[in-house]
Structure 1
Amino acid sequence: MTSKTTDQDPAGTFAGYAVPPGSYRARRQRGPAYFATVGIWVGVIVVVMMALSVVATRITPTATQYRCPPDCGRPPNGLPVATNPRFFAADGSFSVSYPAPGTAYDVTMEPSGVRAELTVGDRGVLRLFSEPARGRDARKVADDLLSQMFPDAVKSYDLPNAILGYEPGYGEVADNWPKGTATDAQRLRIILVVAVKNDLALVAGAAGPFHQFGPDDGPGPPSPANLDIAKDMGKYVNSFMWRGDPPR
């Protein structure tokens, strides 16, 4: 069937088609499959992300996890700058840094280590040395040394989480009064830190006049060390190295 517009129909003309008479049903057209399309894209993205994760784990080294102490790992890669000279045992069993010449110390080399006497301030003595462990643990070594060097000393407290040469050990603080005196003016403060490895005990010991630290006098943070030379002791305590330890 063809329909034409006349002058009264300004809309123009359009073509029509003749069909047999009857009832007809238009076929329903399928709309865009939004959910299927989104689902496919999500699946592809998930698969790609999983693949990239697997690749990343294969090509990226896993960071080592440490629980310190006792497993404190090692310092960052790269050799540190050495500012102090280093003592090496004759048999190569250990080494340790000690105060450099020209500092406020008189340094004496001993067969088992270093003895450094502070010449300024309250004065005092710092010893960095080794002791055969002979099966003893760090606490037993420290107690034996204290009773040997200062038989009348009285332990004040234990050092919590003591570490020497990055090796878990034992530390204690004690006080000693020369015979016949009981005043703080004659009181001697003693600090011992010991760690044992390869049946060799390494020891950092300091002794000097008791010096009460306070907010305006001391290392800064609150400290019960109460020993002037202890403010400079820390840099040497963890400079100890047993034979075979990595550079640090």
Structure 2
Amino acid sequence: MSDSTAELDDAGSFAGYAVPAGNYRARNQRGPGYFVTIGIWVAVIVATMMALSIVSTRITPATNKFHCPPDCGRPPNGLPVATNPRFFAPDGSFSVSYPAAGTAYDVTMEPNGVRAELNIGDGGTLRLFSQPAQGRDARQVAADLLGQMFPDAVKSYELPNAILGYQPGYGEVADDWPKGTSTDAQHLRIIIVVAVKNDLALVAGAAGPFHQFGPEDGPGPPSPANLDIAKDMGKYVNSFMWRGDPPR
């Protein structure tokens, strides 16, 4: 071994192994499994998402579906804001809101409800009361009341999908000429809405001078009510509650 070979061995050589002379084939070494790793991660993510979706459908309550009417659901839960006083029947069978003191009404309490006389505009009378149904439906109760209070009244039209106290009922608009004349000066417009529950009929009725509504005079949206007091009637109609009804 020459001096230069000795220097090379000392500086950068390493010990090896002697093999017989011949041809040899090197075996391929497996590289990193990128596609396998990515596939495993994708499979884990998909399985996790599917599991979370199943859990979400199991713990999420089903949405209530209502067909209104007759099933109109319930008002939102929470403590209601009361802006008007309430009349409570002595036997607790029903309650209803009525105009507060100091408003445009003169209110009189009756054994079975409230009478409110409008003292501005055209005037008129609003009655919110109860009556035993005695097996009658809302339509028959309305017909009997109209026959008693306004025997000469003529039906103008039926209120579609009438609801009182969130209970499907019957509503009617009628006209009457109390003194037997046909002049508009004596023309009365009558609105009655009735609903029956627990064999108790609750009634909202209004009567006053016929007042033709138009774009410049009326509640705003087109309305065939043609009764001044009807513009304030709606909030009392749906304030009725039978015994056992949930707060609203």
TM-score for both structures, normalised by structure 1: 0.85
Partner of residue 124, structure 1: 124
Partner of residue 230, structure 2: 230
* Change in CA separation of 1:38 and 1:224 when aligned onto 2, cut-off 3 Å: farther
How big is each residue's C-alpha offset from its partner over 1:90-129, in whole Å with a ceiling of 9 and x where there is no partner? 1110000111111111111111111111111000000001
Partner of residue 147, structure 1: 147
Partner of residue 99, structure 1: 99
* Change in CA separation of 1:28 and 1:122 when aligned onto 2, cut-off 3 Å: same
Matched ranges for 1:1-248 at <5 A = 20-22=21-23, 24=25, 27=28, 32=33, 34=35, 36-57=36-57, 59-248=59-248
How big is each residue's C-alpha offset from its partner over 1:66-86, in whole Å with a ceiling of 9 and x where there is no partner? 332222222222211211111
Q: CA deviation at 1:21?
A: 4.1
Q: CA deviation at 1:224?
A: 0.7
Q: Secondary structure at the match of 2:221?
A: coil
Provide runs of 4+ in structure 1 moved above 6 Å: 13-19
Is 60-69 or 77-86 further displaced after alignment?
A: 60-69
Q: CA deviation at 1:26?
A: 6.2
* Change in CA separation of 1:163 and 1:38 when aligned onto 2, cut-off 3 Å: farther
CA distance in 1, matches of 2:145, 2:226: 21
* Change in CA separation of 1:83 and 1:18 when aligned onto 2, cut-off 3 Å: same
Q: CA deviation at 1:150?
A: 1.1
1:49 alignment partner AA? M
TM-score for both structures, normalised by structure 2: 0.85
CA distance in 1, matches of 2:133, 2:200: 5
Q: CA deviation at 1:135?
A: 1.6
CA distance in 1, matches of 2:13, 2:220: 98
2:199 alignment partner AA? D
CA distance in 2, matches of 1:14, 1:77: 88
Q: Is the 8 A contact 2:94 2:242 kept in 1?
A: yes
Q: Secondary structure at the match of 1:192?
A: strand
* Change in CA separation of 1:161 and 1:38 when aligned onto 2, cut-off 3 Å: farther
CA distance in 2, matches of 1:71, 1:43: 46
2:205 alignment partner AA? G
Partner of residue 7, structure 1: none
Q: CA deviation at 1:64?
A: 3.1
* Change in CA separation of 1:85 and 1:39 when aligned onto 2, cut-off 3 Å: same
* Change in CA separation of 1:32 and 1:201 when aligned onto 2, cut-off 3 Å: same
Higher helix share: 2
Any unmatched runs of 5+ in structure 1? 1-12
* Change in CA separation of 1:104 and 1:21 when aligned onto 2, cut-off 3 Å: same
Is 146-155 or 52-61 further displaced after alignment?
A: 52-61
* Change in CA separation of 1:204 and 1:29 when aligned onto 2, cut-off 3 Å: same
Q: Is the 8 A contact 2:179 2:186 kept in 1?
A: no
Q: CA deviation at 1:89?
A: 0.7
CA distance in 2, matches of 1:70, 1:206: 24
Number of positions where the alignment pairs a residue of Structure 1 with one of Structure 2: 236
Partner of residue 3, structure 1: none
Q: CA deviation at 1:46?
A: 2.8
